[in-house]
Amino acid sequence: MVDPRLAALENEIVIAHAADAGFRLVRYESDNGQLVWEWRRGNEPRPQFATRRVAIHWMLEFLEREHGVAFISNTGQSYW
């Protein structure tokens, strides 16, 4: 079982690396009243997600593909 504090720290690390790459994670209410999480960077397309967890997971995979930065977690080492 993953310690919730460790999971929260890992999420904040992903958000910090995303900020280094120019992204901001924003939560807002869409025109139809649905709460949405969105990654914003300049005028680029803004991927949207129904949950914060999925938005962070998407960003982790994006950073792994685009930046190849090493990241160590309780499940082992990966690169993003």
- Print the domain residue range for 14: 4-65
Is there a domain that residue 16 lies in? Answer: yes
Is there a domain that residue 29 lies in? Answer: yes
Q: How many domains does the chain have?
A: 1
Is there a domain that residue 47 lies in? Answer: yes
68 backbone φψ class: left, alpha, beta (φ>0; ψ -120 to 50): left
Contact yes or no for 60/14 (Cβ under 8 A): yes
Please give the pLDDT value at position 74.
52
- H or E, element range at 4: helix 4-20
Contact yes or no for 42/33 (Cβ under 8 A): no
Query: Which amino acid is located at 30 in the chain?
Result: S
pTM of this structure: 0.77
Is there a domain that residue 70 lies in? Answer: no
SS3 64: helix
Tokens at residue 37, please? Answer: 């999480």
* pLDDT tens, per residue, the chain with 80 residues: 778 898 899 999 999 999 999 999 999 999 999 999 999 999 999 999 999 999 999 999 999 888 665 555 555 555 44
